[in-house]
Amino acid sequence: MSKLIPVLLIVLGLGAGLGAGLMLRPGAEPAEVAEDHPPPPLPDQGAIGLFEFSNQFMVPLVTDERIVSVIVIRLGLEILEDSRPLVTAHAPRLRDRLLQVMFDHANMGGFHGSFTAHDTLGLLRNNLLEAAQATLGADVVFGVLITDLLRSGS
């Protein structure tokens, strides 16, 4: 009986490890997610303009309840030129929403490792675009441009 207990513990450990591995496996590839949503059609190219935020976005990267580095991002939005006053009027609210998306991206580990990979930045751009369109409307914002990206610290 005492020789049977270690064998049972090994089998239980393997079963628990297999179950945990299945539950914690990564989801769909970001490239597949990005391909599911085709970009919205752009209106006449003469009507598209660029709205650049006057200040950079700063996103702290926290590990073990300590800020280990900071991501500095400068963003631009592809907008209809006619809607520039609307975008300018809602810039603080828009900045808040975009910053929340970047905080969520950082908390999911999106800025660790190879954070400049095409799939990783594509996922971030899509999430930023969804937030901007939810704030201003899909007929106002057509794209998000990451014009500068820097990680300072370790």
> Does 133 fall in a domain?
yes
Q: pLDDT value at position 47?
A: 81
Q: Provide the domain limits for residue 97.
A: 30-153
How many percent of the chain have pLDDT more than 90?
Answer: 38
Burial class (CB in 10 A: 0-12, 13-18, 19+), 111: buried
Let me know: does 138 contact 80? Beta carbons within 8 Å: no
> Does 130 fall in a domain?
yes
> Does 17 fall in a domain?
no
Cross-strand bridge partners of residue 144: 77
> Computed over its alpha carbons, how large is the radius of gyration of the chain?
22
Q: Is the pLDDT score of 99 beyond 90?
A: yes
Q: pLDDT value at position 76?
A: 93
Total domains, the chain:
1
> Does 23 fall in a domain?
no
Q: pLDDT value at position 116?
A: 82
Let me know: does 75 contact 57? Beta carbons within 8 Å: yes
| Ranges 33-42, 45-54, 83-92, 128-137: which has the least confidence | 33-42
Which of the pair, 7 or 82, is modelled with greater confidence? 82
CATH code for position 65: 3.30.479
> Which of 142, 109, 144 has the alpha carbon at shortest distance from 125?
144
Q: pLDDT value at position 39?
A: 57
Q: For residue 93, what pLDDT band results from cuts at 50, 70 and 90?
A: very high
Question: In which element (H, E) is residue 90 found?
Answer: none
Q: Is the pLDDT score of 113 beyond 90?
A: no
Dihedrals φ, ψ of 72, to 5°? -115, 120
Interval 48-68 mean pLDDT: 89
> Which of 61, 152, 41 has the alpha carbon at shortest distance from 104?
61
> Does 14 fall in a domain?
no
